[in-house]
Amino acid sequence: MLKNTKLPLIIIGLLLLAPIYVSAADIKSGNNVYLPPQETIDGNLYAASNNITIDGEIKGDLIAAAQTITVNGRLDGDLIAAAQTITVNGEINGSVRLAGNSAQINGTVARNLNFIGNALNVEKNAKIGWDLMSGANSINIAGLISGNVYGKGDNIILSGNVGKNLEFIGGKNAGLSLSPESSIGGNLSYSENIKTLKKDGAQISGQIKLIKNKERETNKNYFFSLIYKILAAIIVGLIIIFPGRKIVEALYGATRKNPGASLGWGLLALLAIPALSLILIFTVIGIPLALLSILGWLLALYLGKVTSAIFIGKEVQKLLKKYKEKSLLAPLLIGVTISWLLFSIPFIGWLISLGASCLGLGSLIVYLKIRK
């Protein structure tokens, strides 16, 4: 990688991802990943599988991607997961950050709970120590949220307890329902289009505030958007690295030897393909080919960004002496997080994003030239 980028990457990586490096990491993959009750992992666990079940104990973080994830055991660190269905029955002593179709929380989360997806259920026995922030279409809270609740979606039902404030931004036909046994220790704030249904017995200690449409574009919306982008990039990266690990390693090797050539060839492809497509548009038979070229070009640029992010993750791991040759999962998670945070920097983020696309796209061209 370019030498002048190393220091900022180290700083950002240490500040944002330091918990990942508290101790050594285990990496597990396959059709099924199972940690039995009697087994303890002293560090972090990275897992990718169809089904992941944790009945044992993890002293660090669990970072996982699967079809279904079930955590029945104990985590001393954070849970970061993406899956179709996620169930947390155990004890999480850090924060929980989830993305998926549905998530069910039955256990204890010591810090924050973040979820993006279709449906989130915080069941009656669940306890969240800090805040809940969710972008789910449907949010059902029957348990205890000691801090604040920030929600955005179509429907929220509160039958449990919120220690501080509850704020909900809803869609066009969104609904807010408070059951008789529910309580809010602070203020209740909701967007003006929401249909509220407060049943007798619901307790609100603070004020009830209406959020006007013009006030909706807040930092929370920006946060949700950024998390969506990061998780989407991780999912795309998972699709790339498991069948194509050797190719990604080869691209990384070619780019590390000559990053300038990769950037140069990537920039050339960035400019040449749209120009060629424009020429094809002026020919009747070339219009379909031009459209396909543009679609392929856009896809290549995005894949280039993800590939560059993996490169960055590998560089950071090597500098911290935590790199393991047998897996690209950790570099993917680290690199995507760092890269997409850099892409979000005002005024210059787009330029960094463009450079990453060029580097990733150019790495393929350089690799193909070497193989000739």
pLDDT digits (tens, 9 = 90+) for 359-371: 888 888 888 877 7
pLDDT at 46: 80
Q: Are residues 182 and 57 in the same domain?
A: yes
Q: Are residues 265 and 284 in the same domain?
A: yes
When mean pLDDT is compared over 7-21, 212-226, 267-281, the highest value belongs to 267-281
Is residue 57 a part of any domain in this protein?
Answer: yes
pLDDT tens profile 27-67 = 776 678 999 999 999 988 888 778 999 999 999 989 887 78
Q: Are residues 135 and 79 in the same domain?
A: yes
Note whether 78 and 95 are within 8 A (CB): yes
Is residue 15 a part of any domain in this protein?
Answer: no
Which carries the bigger pLDDT value, residue 72 or residue 247? 72
Helix 259-281 / helix 349-371 crossing angle, nearest 10 deg: 100
Domain boundary among 216, 243, 263: 216
Which carries the bigger pLDDT value, residue 122 or residue 308? 122
CA 38 – CA 21 distance, rounded (Å): 24
Q: Calculate mean pLDDT across residues 168-177.
A: 85
Domain boundary among 216, 237, 267: 216
Q: Are residues 262 and 184 in the same domain?
A: no
pLDDT tens profile 214-245 = 545 555 566 677 787 888 888 888 888 877 77
Q: Could you give the percent of the chain with pLDDT greater than 70?
A: 84
pLDDT of 105 higher than 80: yes
Q: Calculate mean pLDDT across residues 127-140.
A: 93
Note whether 110 and 88 are within 8 A (CB): no
CA-wise closest residue to 312 among 302, 326, 323? 323
Q: Are residues 46 and 190 in the same domain?
A: yes
Which carries the bigger pLDDT value, residue 348 or residue 352? 352
Is residue 188 a part of any domain in this protein?
Answer: yes
Q: Are residues 195 and 231 in the same domain?
A: no
Global pTM exceeds 0.75: no
Q: Are residues 357 and 237 in the same domain?
A: yes
Q: Are residues 248 and 185 in the same domain?
A: no
Could you tell me where the beta strands, DSSP code E, fall in 9-54? 25-35, 40-41, 44-54
CA-wise closest residue to 115 among 74, 87, 157, 77? 87
- Quickly count: other Cβ atoms within 10 Å of residue 173's Cβ: 10
Q: Could you give the percent of the chain with pLDDT greater than 90?
A: 31
| Domains identified in the chain, total number | 2
Domain boundary among 192, 216, 240: 216
The SS3 assignment for 185 reads: coil
Q: Are residues 130 and 65 in the same domain?
A: yes
pLDDT at 282: 59
Domain that holds residue 264: 221-371
Q: Are residues 178 and 290 in the same domain?
A: no
